[in-house]
Structure 1
Amino acid sequence: MLLALTACSSSDDKSSDSATTTAAGSAPASASASPKVSGSLTVFAAASLKETFTELGKQFETAYPGTKATFNFGGSDTLAASITSGAPADVFAAASPATMKTVTDAGDGQGTPVAFVRNQLEIATLPGNPQHIATLKDLTKSGLKVALCAKTVPCGSAAQKALTASSLKLTPVSYEQDVKSALTKVELKEVDAAVVYQTDVDAAGGRVDGVQFPESAKAINAYPIVALKDAPNATAAQAFIALVKSAEGQKVLTAAGFLNP
């Protein structure tokens, strides 16, 4: 009997130890399901996202104390080329599916890109619109100085699509590498007008006037976002994308003139 009691006691102890081990082991599993967001976050984003993503970066840092969000804004094609060449980044937000495809085709995306907003073109003119530009066709007037984004940049590709749909030919005085550069040409009065996004006209405030044109509806760009495969901070990347897609993130974006995805 003494031997039997000893055996039962030993069995109960092992069972208790096993339960304790299982309970203790479940905590790390739960923690790993929601890892802590910390450290630096690097986001490569289309130039047209500068104002909104800067604001979302501040929200991100507030939501996750101790984090630091850094942004590289530029032409989507240039950013895509940098990523495929090995530039370290956590997130890529492009101004068109075509430029995003450059990254995903190279195997540098993590998961499937998700469209989070859309954007529509608008003509930016000098304040007061002294050249009385009212239509896309007006940009083809002799003597009018116009800036466009380069054809490889999403805003340039969209502009060409709108021009083609209208059977119009336009030779600009300059092709710019991103939409902000095209807008700056107007702000500095180096050109009379530029075809940019409506969000850029809004962000410029009174420094330019905006002229809407119906052909822009045929060239609306969707903006996809994706975490990168070799992201130095994959946890922060997913958290930032979640913020962009959240109600709070969408509020910031739509307030700036972006369209719902």
Structure 2
Amino acid sequence: MTRTAHRTRRPLQGAAGGAAALLMLSACSAGSDSSAGPSGPGGVSGEVTVFAAASLKESFTTLGERFEKEHPGTKVTFGFGGSDSLAASITGGAPADVFASASPTTMKVVTDADDASGPPATFVRNELEIATLPGNPHKVASLEDLTAPDLKVVLCDRAVPCGAAARKALDARKLTLTPVSYEQDVKAALTKVELKEADAAVVYRTDVRAAGDKVEGVEFPESADAVNDYPIALLKDAPNAEAGKAFIALVRSAEGRKVLGAAGFLTP
């Protein structure tokens, strides 16, 4: 089903426009059937567009599939990426129904622009972990080990929640780390290790778990001081507000908590 409502706010400009265009190209549906059927329970139908932090990809894809089954006639389309880029797209005018951010700071960009419909709700928390090559050949056992000069380490960009959290953990220990690259989101950082282009990356433990045997995870105590809260909000100019509300309800339900908990997310 095509959208029946569109944003009429300010046009996309600059970086926000570029980010929104990229999201539109990379957005994915939770299901394979793009046709719209009859209204589901509660009159929910049509397409619901969810912008979500990259670390939520696996969990939200699963929940999107369940949402479509529970609400016949709906289609969930996702735009996954760095929370900072997603927030810029939303404030730039990109049409979406729901925003799930990996930090209150990036959500605040949206609420300060008056683009959220009501206060956001924290639905999960996430903790950092070091991702190494399988077998941990460099014997990384601590955050301090990442400062070794012969180790190729990747971090998320400082503007991205996983990058800000990593910087907080490093600063707490007064550690200086010069990464070989800063990546645009947590999945990009993890991919560098999976492709053996880096020896280690500081990512979320949920991403280490999702990667399976492609990487090995190393916990470190400083991560407890850099836990990220994940807020979710219905957007003010949501093209399909009813479906957006229903998706948020699923995320925050016992069923949603079970899926997110299985992925390694913490209860808020």
TM-score by length of 1: 0.87
TM-score by length of 2: 0.85
Q: Secondary structure at the match of 2:118?
A: strand
Q: 2:210 aligns with which of 194, 203, 211?
A: 203
* Structure-2 separation of matches of 1:46 and 1:38: 24
Offset from partner CA, 1:220-247 (integer Å, 9 cap, x none): 0000000000000000000000000000
Q: Specify the structure having the higher radius of gyration (Cα).
A: 1
* Structure-2 separation of matches of 1:169 and 1:79: 29
State the Cα distance separating 1:143 from its structure 2 match. 1.2
* Structure-1 separation of matches of 2:90 and 2:197: 32
1:184 is aligned to 191
* Structure-2 separation of matches of 1:117 and 1:47: 14
Q: Find out whether 1:145 has 2:152 as its counterpart.
A: yes
* Structure-1 separation of matches of 2:258 and 2:107: 24
Gaps of 5+ in 2: 1-40
Aligned residue identity for 1:86: G
State the Cα distance separating 1:170 from its structure 2 match. 0.4
* Structure-2 separation of matches of 1:148 and 1:79: 19
1:72 is aligned to 79
* Structure-2 separation of matches of 1:242 and 1:111: 14
1:89 is aligned to 96
State the Cα distance separating 1:35 from its structure 2 match. 4.8
Offset from partner CA, 1:24-76 (integer Å, 9 cap, x none): xxxxxxxxxx9510000000000000000000000100100010000000000
- Mapping 1:149-188, distance limit 5 Å: 149-188=156-195
1:122 is aligned to 129
Q: Secondary structure at the match of 1:170?
A: coil
Q: 2:115 aligns with which of 108, 127, 130?
A: 108
Equivalent pairs counted in the alignment come to 228
Q: 1:225 aligns with which of 232, 237, 241?
A: 232
The structure where helix makes up a greater share of residues is 1
Identical amino acids, percent of aligned pairs: 72
State the Cα distance separating 1:151 from its structure 2 match. 0.2
